[in-house]
Amino acid sequence: MHPLARRLLYSLVSLIAISMLCFALLRAAPGDYFSELRLEPGLSQKTLTTMEEQSDLSKPLIERYALWCKAAVRGDFGLSLTYHLPVVQLLGERIANTLMLAGLGLLGAWILGLLLGSVTGWPAIAARAFAALLWSIPEPILALLLLLGALRFHALSPLVEISSPAGSSWMHLRSLAGRIALPALAMTLGYLPVVLRHVQRGLDAARRAPAVEAARAHGFTRRRILLSYLLPEAATPLISLLGLGIGSLLSASLFVEVLFGWPGLGQLLLNAILARDTNIVVAGVLCSAVMLITGNLFADLLLWLHDPRLRAVAR
Amino acid sequence: MYEPSGRPRPLSTQAARLILIFLAIAFVSTQTLSGQALRVAGASGLPGGKLNCSLRAEPKTLNPVFAMDVSSRAVTSVMNADLLHINRKTDVVEAGLARSWEVSRGGQTYTLHLRRGVRFSDGAPFTADDVLFSFRVYLNPDLNAPQRDLLIIDGKPLQVTKVDSLTVRFDLPRPYAAAARLFDGLAMLPSHLLEPLEKSGKLKDAWSIATPPAQLAGLGPFRLKSYRPGQAVILERNAYFWKQDPAGHALPYLDEVDFAFLANQDAESVRFAAGQLDLLARLSADSYAVLEKQAPQQHFQMMDGGPGLEFDFLLFNLNSDVAGRLPEAAAAQKWFSQSVFRRALSLAVNRDVLVNLVFQNHAAPLATPVTPASQTWLNPLAHPDKQDLPQARALLTSAGFQSRDGALFDSAGNRVKFTILAPSSNRQRSEIASLLRRDFAELGIDAQVVSLEFRSLLQRVTQNHDYDTAVMGLSAGDTEPNGNLSLWLSDGSLHLWNLGQKHPATQWESEIDDAMHRQMYMTNMAERRKTYFRVQQIYREQMPFLSLASPHMLGAAQAGLLGVLSSALDPAMLDNVAVFSWKR
Amino acid sequence: MQPILAIEDLSLVYRLPKGRRLGVLRRVSLSIGAGEVVGLLGPSGSGKTSLLRYILGVGMEGSESKCALLKFEDMNLLAMNHWQRHRLRRERMGIIFQDPTHRLSAFRRIRRQLEDAGGSCSSESGALASLERVGFVDPGRIASSFPYELSGGECQRIATAQAIAANPMLLLADEPTSALDTVAQRQILDLMLKIRRERKVAMMVISHDPELLRALADRVLRLHDGVIVGHVPSPARSRSPRSKPGTTLQMTGERATQSVLDVRDLTLTFGLPQPETGWMPLPDWGRTRKFHAALQGVNFSVQQGSFVAVVGRSGSGKSTLAACIAGIALPQSGEMLFCEKPLLPVRSQEQRAQIQLILQDTVGALNPRLTVAQILEEPLRIHRNQLPGKSGRRYTDKQMQARAYSILGDVSLAPEYLTRTPAQLSGGERQRVAIARALMLQPTLLLLDEALTGLDHDLQDSILELLGDLRRHKELTCIHFTHDLRRMLIAADQIAVMDEGLIVEVHPAWEFARKACHPASVRLLDAMLLDAEEQ
């Protein structure tokens, strides 16, 4: 079988396994969608029981899963219990926002990480200390500090997009940029230490690599050494990290989103997990898994392009 | 004075008359437009402006029939209106969409006269047919509207009859004490939009958060302008709203209300301090304290609305199905089942310290689950227990408990120890649990706090009954006794300490059942109060759970926002959003 | 003659962790004339490579130097900044490293890497021409290859092409041949001779191979502990250090009469199922090839106390035979008798203890977490119920320590090495520890699988000398599997030639050169003699 076909088959199998696990875990988790309604003073036991019976939750797990699979094959991931809306619609509206925020955040972290990571001497030590400091602050607190800082300098962008029905796309873009800046910065700062350390380590090792040393000893041009010898040597671990980063695009920004009120998947998934809204959780987790698989595939493809030795093995 | 017609009138007089006529026409025209508009006493403000609020979670639905969570209720309450409305300040039922009502047949028949000329936010007129339709929806057993249970009295639903296009008669199966209050919060629905959906069985999924604004209509001061998934609900002024200020200006004053979704309270406070949010409702005592410090410079209006309807309590597991099935819970139940033991524990709790430490004094210590928000119904003789350890010890000794080396043992020689469940997500209740543990330790009781995720805790309390004690909080549905019905009645869904009883397990529970059933149908206010006082007295004697404190309704608003009022009933601070206005 | 490079009073110190300092070069002065080839000889760790790096100005991080004069052509290198030095390397100096495969970037095609070198290679045609110049017959294929597709010798030739691309005035070479096989070694030597002939370029060549220096250098400098201890003018280099211990080894051969090991009809084909012995099937030994017949019926016997060298080119089955005798690999058929007792199908614990194997890879052979003392005691702990002798008595911990102490002395390591870990040892020291570990069990038969390859010549000699001593005193029998025929002609008693999974001929070492007639033997002898001719 073609290696790519085999990879895709494995991916499919793991997606099926993940969906099963999700169902099983959500069933095993204590409490269900109706737990909180039981504390509603105006709601009688009888009404609750009928509500439960009307929902799918009363059916056996296997049957529910089978029904879900049947629909999922057609692209229908069911209705949300809480919102009475198709899960696909709910997620679809938000996924783009999450991808935009996380993508921007990770991009920022990579650019900063590559820049800061490639300096040497005392600035490198300063960068490392900076990364350690950032790393030691939990992400939610980092985000909150950012919020407070923005408050202090009157740099908070409006929470809700200014409603201008006839506003030009330029205005729209500007307001979007204003709103995404802070959460994206929070993402960037949260992810920067990881990138920075990897870049520093990778470049350190690459600088000592025999081929790079030889290139310097031969006196190749400075740019040539950097682009064609140093960076390729350092790239392998960085490509893997990039793959991981892409894989986590959907899940990395959850906390930041909740804190900044960013209209992404974060709040939806968080509430769905708390509310045991099975269909949303399963679809959300599957999306993340697809993202992870895509990220890994992408990284492997890059590695394959990068390293001729891997191409030789695949042949 | 009469003036002969032959003489030419001075021009000024003529002009004055013209103006008068013009004004008269203008007045009549506004009259016909808004029919018999409700004049809101004391309202005065300048039109225009926008209100930015926040919601802790995205609303689940925009359908007032199925709105059960706080966020959905806040939004739908602003978009809809009810026939009769409880005045949040005075706790008295007042006219709403019904301009007046009569009670006849000894309180069994209510005849409501609707306002003339009222229109939905899409311009369609509101008539008796809409009322009939709305109640048909609420009472439809297939739809399971959460309000349905309230409208079933003595097992029978109330009957709704259209008398004419502006008059509706409600027939109750029995005279019902709080019948007028039932109408509060029941949103009147537009039959022209929803009836087709009801007929095709799609009402359950109607008016979701994805419904386009044109398909929604309500009678509230604001209507949907746009919904931004995951971000905000944006409401705009309802031009057809049926209330006016005393000067005859149409309400609401504000042009727009935005609800942004912000799950984190700290982030909410920051946005408020930055002026991006104008109103914060349901503030925690901590956030309130932080904002209060900034209030003098920033001129925030800090609003402490006093105790709400929430009561926090320590629940004992007295469920009868525990014995044999759950040995540990059953062992603890041997102590909990003695009312003396429960009273002793109540005496051990220092509620003042609890109110001070957990709520920064923004809470009221409780004697019973009836909070001070229900002033009329609070037994004046029921005082919150002060900590009295000697008496608590005396009570324990009298029940055969012994204290050795600072540890408490029961008459069989077992060490008294149990666990206190607390929801991990709610910091205040976790703190309460650790304070209780400290207080109980004074009696030699070894109480361990166990933090659990909220739904796990609920499952243990409501389904497994696998727990010793738990710190919980509930909110009464109303200020009056029926708001706590499901708590008091032995077969009620909130009779948490012993759920699922077919018959009252104890004599005192059956006495409470009896009293609660009787008070429901009493029309004599004094007699009803006396009966409810008796229920509270029985509670004080038996103490089936320990009522601890009722947090205040805390909120904050920007300095320039006028007309804000904090209330115990839903929606916490938005009830009179129609008269909110900005100071210029 | 105007010197092209002059160094005066160079001292070099490396800063080590915890504030320690390691002196590498002490007051070194030298000069190289234009077109002169200077060899640099010295044991490992004597500072040869450091000196070369210093001249280049590369890889000097963490070092401090003091130098009175560093002059190249007429330039004062000490006054030059980093980038000027870089430019100088590009235009005036060339360097050939020891490990050619690693010194080329794995990610870049050869043509590109040649073009990077500039000079005559900077165009595509120039790059191809330069490949032809270093002896490639198909420069097009080589140019479009990646380094992993080429052999070490090919890579070294490419590196040489890079080094001479800009027509440098000074060519530095750091052990240019030591990582290569015999044939490739010859090619590189030829190449360097050709460069010397054609270009009149000055060279400084580091090597621990005296033959190479003899062939190439006008004069040889000897570096010891960072000090130049002697200028050896090339024609006068009289004694190679290896000749001395070899003769002593040779004398011990004839004494033994009893047969220690008899191997009959041993076959092993990789890819075939292993025989059912109840033992765990072993992973493939050596390279994974489908149905590769590694041993095709090997017959030979070894007398007690003798030193047998099994020589052959790589891939001839030497390592597989060693693995079979050591019990790591199981042959599919055949017989092995060890002191007249069969080793197949299952060998006893005692037999295991008495046959010890030493591998080439000393890094992988020693557990990096253990100290030398622990490494030495480990085999005793594993075999403790059978030693010493056959009495069943056990070693006490004290005795074990004492034994480790004395064995360490046998391999000429000081007692303080007992507390070190493998990471703190040099390659030669690690190999000596590995030998010491094998000797801990007082084996009857010691197998060395290329165990000396990669060590410098002095060290190889001293280890062979050590083995000779041990054979005399401890009734030890050695089988050395190696490709180094030259050294074995002197050191071994018997030489067995292996080819295509068979022992093709066995002769006493002293008459091997005369008697050997099998093509494989002749090939080996030819390669060796070609080397010698250059001298």
pLDDT value, residue B19? 60
Beta-carbon separation of A41 and B234 below 8 A: no
CA C368 to CA C374: how far, in whole Å?
A: 11
The per-residue pLDDT for range A125-157, each reduced to its tens digit, is: 888 898 889 888 888 888 888 888 888 887 777
> CA–CA separation, A9 vs B262, rounded Å?
41
CATH 3.10.105.10 location in chain B: 310-552
**Arithmetic mean of pLDDT, B128-157:** 86
CATH class of B29-261: alpha beta
Instruction: Tell me which residue of C522, C455, C521 sits closest to C242, measured CA to CA.
Output: C455
Q: How far is B221 from chain A (nearest CA, A)?
A: 20
B16 confidence band (pLDDT: 50, 70, 90)? low
Nearest to A210 among C87, C102, C163 (CB): C102
Rounded average pLDDT over B559-567: 86
* pLDDT score at C534: 54
- Residue B273 — very low, low, confident or very high, per pLDDT cuts 50/70/90? confident
Give pLDDT, residue B354: 93
Of C59, C108, C116, the CB nearest to A213: C59
C243 falls in which pLDDT band (50, 70, 90)? very low
Q: Which residue has the higher pLDDT, B283 or B570?
A: B283
Which positions ≥6 away from C111 have C-beta within 8 Å? C124, C127, C128, C143, C144
C-alpha B428/C-alpha B289 separation (Å) is 14
A71-84 pLDDT, tens digit per residue, is 888 888 888 888 88
pLDDT at B4: 40
Q: How confident is the model at residue B141 (pLDDT cuts 50, 70, 90)?
A: confident
Task: Give the whole-angstrom CA distance, residue B50 versus residue A56.
Answer: 42
**Distance of residue A221 Cα from the nearest chain C Cα, in angstroms:** 8
Tens of pLDDT, residue by residue over C413-465, are 888 888 888 877 877 788 888 888 888 888 888 998 888 776 777 778 877 88
- Give CA–CA dist A57/C312, Å, rounded: 75
DSSP states along B195-248:
HHHHHTT-GGGSS-TTS-GGG---SSSEEEEEEETTTEEEEEE-TT--EE-TT-
Show Cβ contacts of residue A199 under 8 Å, excluding neighbours closer than 6 positions.
A113, A114, A116, A117, A118, A234, A238
A32 neighbourhood in chain B, CB within 8 Å: 455, 459
Residue B72 pLDDT exceeds 80: yes
Q: How far apart are CA B96 and CA B103, in angstroms?
A: 16
Contact status, residue B261 vs residue B232, Cβ threshold 8 Å: yes
Contact C493, C512 (CB under 8 A): no
Do C and B make contact via 3 or more CB pairs under 8 A? The reply is no
Q: Would the pLDDT of B7 be above 60?
A: no
Q: Find which of B309-323, C349-363, C440-454 is predicted with most confidence, using mean pLDDT.
A: B309-323
- A-chain CB neighbours of C87 within 8 Å are 219
Which of these, B529, B198, B551, lies nearest to B372 by C-alpha position? B551
Q: Which residues contact A98 (CB under 8 A, 6 or more apart)?
A: A249, A250, A253, A257, A262, A264, A265, A266
Q: Which residue carries 């090997």 as its tokens?
A: C298
Separation CA B557–CA B300 (nearest Å): 6
Residue C278 confidence class, pLDDT cut points 50, 70, 90:
very low
Task: Give the type of residue at B5.
Answer: S
- Residues in A lying within 8 Å of C, measured between beta carbons: 209-222, 224, 228-229, 232-233, 306-309, 312
Residues contacting A307, CB < 8 A, separation 6+: A236, C106, C107
Q: Which residues of C touch chain A, with CB atoms under 8 Å apart?
A: 56, 58-59, 83, 86-91, 93-95, 97, 99, 102-108, 112, 116-118, 146, 148-149, 159, 162-163
pLDDT tens for each residue of C165-220: 888 889 999 888 877 777 777 888 888 888 888 888 899 998 877 777 878 888 88
pLDDT band per the 50, 70, 90 thresholds, residue C499: confident
Nearest to C403 by CA among C423, C383, C427: C383
Establish, for the pair of chains A and B, how many residue pairs have beta carbons separated by less than 8 Å: 167
Question: Does the pLDDT at position C378 exceed 90?
Answer: no
Instruction: State the pLDDT at residue C232.
Output: 58
Q: Which tens digit of pLDDT belongs to each residue from C47-69?
A: 888 888 888 888 777 788 888 88
Q: Would the CB atoms of C146 and A222 count as touching at under 8 Å?
A: no
- Give the contacts of B238 (CB within 8 A, at least 6 positions apart): B121, B218, B220, B221, B222, B223, B252
Which of chain B's residues have a Cβ under 8 Å away from the Cβ of A156? 270-271, 274, 276
Of A217, A307, A308, the CB nearest to C89: A217
pLDDT range class, residue B388, cuts 50, 70, 90: very high
B404 vs chain A: nearest CA distance in angstroms?
39
Question: In Å, what is the CA distance from B201 to each residue of B129, B195, B209, B498, C250?
Answer: 19, 10, 19, 38, 105
Which residue in chain A has the smallest CA separation from B204? A84
Size of interface A-C (CB pairs under 8 A): 80
More confident residue, C242 or B312: B312
pLDDT at C385: 53
Q: What is the mean pLDDT of chain C?
A: 78
Average pLDDT over residues B486-511: 88
Question: Which chain B residues are Cβ-neighbours of A47 within 8 angstroms?
Answer: 144, 146, 148-149
pLDDT band at C26 (very low <50, low <70, confident <90, very high): confident
* Cβ <8 Å between C88 and A219: yes
Residue A110 lies in a domain: yes
Contacts of C149 in chain A (CB under 8 A): 312
Q: Is A39 within the bounds of a domain?
A: no
Q: What is the DSSP letter of B482?
A: G
Counting CB pairs under 8 A, whether chains B and A reach 3 or more, is yes
For domain B310-552, give the CATH number. Answer: 3.10.105.10
Nearest-CB residue to A44 (from B58, B264, B493): B493
Give the Cα separation of B121 and B223 in Å (integer): 7
Q: Which residues of A touch B228 (CB under 8 A)?
A: 160-161, 263
Please check the confidence at residue B9 and state whether its pLDDT lies above 70.
Answer: no
Residue A155 contacts B, CB cutoff 8 Å: no
CB B488 within 8 A of CB B518: no
Residue C370 reports pLDDT greater than 60: yes
**3-class SS of residue A143:** helix
Dig out the tokens for C20 from the structure. Answer: 């320690």
pLDDT at C366: 85
- Token pair recorded at residue B267: 């982030």
Q: Which residues of chain A have pLDDT under 70?
A: 1, 41-42, 161-168, 312-315
pLDDT at C19 over 80: no
DSSP class of residue C276 equals -
Quick one: which of B240, B31, B228, B234 has its CA closest to B122? B240
Cβ separation B205–A44 shorter than 8 A: no
Give A8→chain C minimum CA distance, Å: 28
| Per-residue pLDDT at B13 | 55
pLDDT at B538 over 90: yes
B96 and B103 Cβ atoms separated by less than 8 Å = no
Q: What is the pLDDT of residue B316?
A: 93
Minimum-distance CB partner of A276 among B148, B264, B455: B455
Q: Which segments of chain B belong to CATH 3.40.190.10?
A: 29-261
Which residues, listed in sequence order, are joined to residue C495 by a DSSP beta bridge?
A: C309, C507
Nearest to C498 by CA among C477, C514, C515, C482: C482
Pairwise CA distance, residues C113 & C105, whole Å: 8
- Burial status of residue A2 (CB atoms within 10 A of its CB: 0-12, 13-18, 19 or more): exposed
Partner chains of C (3+ C-beta pairs under 8 Å): A
How far from the centroid of its chain's Cα atoms is residue C528's Cα? 16
Name the token pair of C167: 């027509």
pLDDT on residue B472: 93
Cα–Cα distance between B14 and B1 in angstroms, integer? Answer: 15
How close B9 comes to chain A (CA, Å)? Answer: 54
Q: Of C210, C160, C169, which is closest to residue C35 (Cα–Cα)?
A: C169
- Domain extent at residue A183: 87-314
- Within a 10 A sphere around the Cβ of B532, how many other Cβ atoms? 25
Q: Any idea which of B340-354, B449-463, C244-258 has the lowest mean pLDDT?
A: C244-258
The confidence score (pLDDT) of residue C253 equals 37
Does residue B464 have a pLDDT over 60? yes
The token pair at B18 is 């013209």
DSSP notation for A145-170: HHHHHHHHTT-PPPSS----TT--HH
Q: What percent of chain B has pLDDT over 70?
A: 94
Which pLDDT value is given to residue C211?
74
> What residue type is assigned to position A171 of the chain?
M
Least confident of A149-153, B194-198, B207-211, B514-518: A149-153
Number of domains chain A contains: 1
Closest residue, chain A, to C91 (C-alpha)? A219
Q: Do A44 and B273 touch (CB under 8 A)?
A: no
How far CA C215 is from CA of B378, C456, C532, in Å, comes to 113, 18, 9
* Coil/strand/helix, residue C340: coil
Q: Report the neighbours of B using a cutoff of 3 or more CB pairs below 8 angstroms.
A: A
Find out whether B362 and B304 touch, Cβ atoms under 8 Å: yes
